[in-house]
């Protein structure tokens, strides 16, 4: 009988605790935020001449000489860019130490994995 009383008392305490903690806050407000495309090239707001970190980009016109070669071959000379080879014809970029899902490669609007 004592065990049943302890169990019932425990259940009442648990249910009372859950009810008091499950009340919704009334004054919470959530402001929706949407971002346009963001490109981060340098950590500081300086001109390229004054920046110690080299920033480079490869235009579509620069890739014209690559008729049958791959896109990674065009990026071999870009400072801070290297590649991991995971199989025949599979190369993944490493940009300033970041790789995997932290680096997005886009060519003519198509994302490459």
DSSP conformation letters of 27-85: S---------------SS---TTT-SS------TGGGGG-TTS-HHHHHTTSTTEEEEE
Domain assignment present for 83: yes
> What domain count does the chain have?
1
Q: Considering the entire predicted model, what is its pTM?
A: 0.42
Domain assignment present for 103: yes
Domain assignment present for 32: no
CA trace torsion 58, 35, 49, 103 (10° rounding): -40
Domain assignment present for 97: yes
Give residues with Cβ within 8 angstroms of 72, minimum separation 6.
83, 91, 93
Give residues with Cβ within 8 angstroms of 62, minimum separation 6.
74
Residues of the chain with pLDDT under 70: 1-2, 11, 13-28, 33-71, 107, 113
Domain assignment present for 33: no
Domain assignment present for 99: yes
Q: What is the pLDDT of residue 58?
A: 67
Q: What is the pLDDT of residue 57?
A: 66
């Amino acid at each position: 009988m004592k065990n049943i009383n302890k169990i019932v008392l425990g259940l009442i305490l648990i249910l009372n605790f859950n009810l008091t903690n499950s009340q919704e806050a009334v004054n919470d407000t959530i402001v929706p935020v949407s971002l346009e495309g963001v490109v981060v090239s340098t950590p500081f707001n300086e001109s390229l001449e004054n920046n110690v970190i080299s920033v480079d980009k490869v235009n579509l016109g620069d890739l014209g000489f690559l008729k049958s070669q791959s896109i990674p071959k065009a990026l071999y000379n870009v400072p801070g860019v290297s590649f991991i080879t995971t199989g025949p014809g599979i190369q993944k970029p490493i940009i300033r130490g970041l790789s995997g899902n932290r680096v997005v490669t886009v060519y003519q609007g198509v994302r490459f994995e």
